[in-house]
């Protein structure tokens, strides 16, 4: 605590989500200390270099009451030695930070994981729930799942409380990955081969994610709480495209490409892993998060409007 205000160490502060989280925490009266890899002239920052199994967090954690851990390796699954890199940062780095945080007397550790710890599709199964078995696919999901397992084992021997959040695709101003690729294609009028897709997927506005993080920090946490969090409306991939088109005032051509042909097309383009995220369902049961009393402040349409009409939406 500092001047009776909570001090929050925020990792990944310079990233897409972090740039939305930091001002929201400050707006709620918290002091945000940003952990950065490189020396930064901006505000209350501490340089920690590369996150890994031996990162020294001592200076960064002085006086810190809460840690919000967003930093992670993403978007580079095909790089050489990818599994080792993802494990070093996302698994070993997370566990090292948690160990140091517990030793420093941190009371609440918030870890933003991913829905991909459950796999990449709910086709043929009910919507995901927090107590489902972990069945990750890909190096990213596997590294996050391993971190979750390690955190749960570790927290039992500490006085620290922990919140794990498993979001689906997060969209917003400045988002990278599939959301940026999709909006770019719609803007350019590129035909999209999604006309034969009939799925149902969860999406998450960065504003709604930030809202949930703030809610967890301002309410009594449990010892080890896991939450699946998403926008309340879950829609098909073609419907998600139509909602984006409406905001952008664009009209793309939806090509009715058979699913077997879509799978072959993605394989030829070297993106076989993208099939499930485009054509598969990924439904989430949000009842646990909603039972806490939290509600997503933005609808899907409002979230997309903020994401696509502002250069970078700063969540309320």
Q: Catalytic site residues? A: 140
Distance CA 78, CA 100 (A): 31
Q: Are 57 and 101 in contact (CB under 8 A)?
A: yes
H/E stretch holding 306: helix 300-309
Distances 123 to 37, 197, 271 between C-alpha atoms, Å: 39, 12, 20
Q: Are 137 and 116 in contact (CB under 8 A)?
A: yes
Residue 227's DSSP bridge partners are 165
Distance CA 38, CA 273 (A): 32
Distance CA 122, CA 120 (A): 7
- Comparing C-alpha atoms, which of 208, 115, 100, 98 is closest to residue 162? 98
Q: Are 32 and 19 in contact (CB under 8 A)?
A: no
Kindly state the tokens that stand for 98.
């948690």
Distance CA 178, CA 275 (A): 12
């Amino acid at each position: 605590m500092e001047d009776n205000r909570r001090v929050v160490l925020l990792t990944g502060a310079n990233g897409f989500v972090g740039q939305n989280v930091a001002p929201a925490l400050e707006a709620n009266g918290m002091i945000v200390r940003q952990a950065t890899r490189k020396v930064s002239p901006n505000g209350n920052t501490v340089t920690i270099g590369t996150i890994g199994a031996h990162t020294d967090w001592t200076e960064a954690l002085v006086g810190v009451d809460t840690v919000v851990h967003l930093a992670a390796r993403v978007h580079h699954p095909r790089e050489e030695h990818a599994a080792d890199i993802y494990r070093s940062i996302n698994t070993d780095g997370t566990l090292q930070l948690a160990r140091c945080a517990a030793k420093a007397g941190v009371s609440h550790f918030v870890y933003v994981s991913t829905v991909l710890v459950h796999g990449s599709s709910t086709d043929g199964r009910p919507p995901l729930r927090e107590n489902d078995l972990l069945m990750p696919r890909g190096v990213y999901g596997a590294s996050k799942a391993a971190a979750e397992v390690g955190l749960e084992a570790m927290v039992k021997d500490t006085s620290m409380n922990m919140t794990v959040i498993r979001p689906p695709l997060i969209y917003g101003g400045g988002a990278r990955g599939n959301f940026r690729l999709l909006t770019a294609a719609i803007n350019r009028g590129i035909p999209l081969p999604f006309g034969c897709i009939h799925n149902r997927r969860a999406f998450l506005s960065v504003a709604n994610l930030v809202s949930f993080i703030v809610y967890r920090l301002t309410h009594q946490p449990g010892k080890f709480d896991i939450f699946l969090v998403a926008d309340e409306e879950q829609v098909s991939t073609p419907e998600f495209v139509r909602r984006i088109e409406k905001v952008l005032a664009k009209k793309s051509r939806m090509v009715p490409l058979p699913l077997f042909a879509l799978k072959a097309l993605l394989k030829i383009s070297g993106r076989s892993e993208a099939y499930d995220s485009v054509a598969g369902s990924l439904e989430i049961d949000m009842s646990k998060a909603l039972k806490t009393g939290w509600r997503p402040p933005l609808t899907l349409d409002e979230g997309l409007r903020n994401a696509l009409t502002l250069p970078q939406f700063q969540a309320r």
